[in-house]
Amino acid sequence: MDCIFCKIIAGQIPSHKVYEDDQVLAFLDINPVNHGHTLVIPKSHVGDIEEATGEQLSSLALAIKKVGRSIKEGLGVEGYNVTENNGSVAGQIIPHLHFHVIPRQAGDGLKLWPPRGNYQGTEAEDILQKIKIN
């Protein structure tokens, strides 16, 4: 087992556990972008969101909700971001599905999104035809 998250789940690597149930583990990120930055992972090894079952995703979503609420109440922050990177090109470093719950406060200086663009001419319709789910 070379997966660092699987080693954390197995207790081979220590972590600061925020939440745990039969399906999910949440722990503080060791390189937080803001204090309280928490990772929420499935206990079974799942590479990315496309490999996850509906049951796993439901368990993760419920855990994210609990962790987010606890972060807001415990740290007194105004909100939080939930992010997940799928594939190395998207920034996924550990090949084990994980969601980042990142506490946010007005003026914290954290920028998660670059400046946005817009569609020109028929670009939106062209893209829609390529990705629309029927």
Look up the CATH number of the domain holding residue 53: 3.30.428.10
pLDDT at residue 86, as a whole number:
95
Q: Which of 16, 35, 45, 98 is catalytic?
A: 98
Expressed as residue numbers, the domain containing 30 is 4-131
Q: What is the DSSP letter of 48?
A: S
Number of compact structural domains in the chain: 1
What end-to-end distance do the CA atoms of the chain give, in Å?
A: 39
pTM: 0.92
DSSP E strands: which ranges in 21-115?
A: 24-28, 38-42, 79-83, 99-104
Q: What is the pLDDT along the chain (134 residues), one digit of tens a residue?
A: 699 999 999 999 999 999 999 999 999 999 999 999 999 999 999 999 999 999 999 999 999 999 999 999 999 999 999 999 999 999 999 999 999 999 999 999 998 888 888 999 999 999 999 999 98
Is 98 assigned a catalytic role? yes
Give the span between the Cα atoms of 3 and 59, in whole angstroms: 21
pLDDT of residue 29: 98
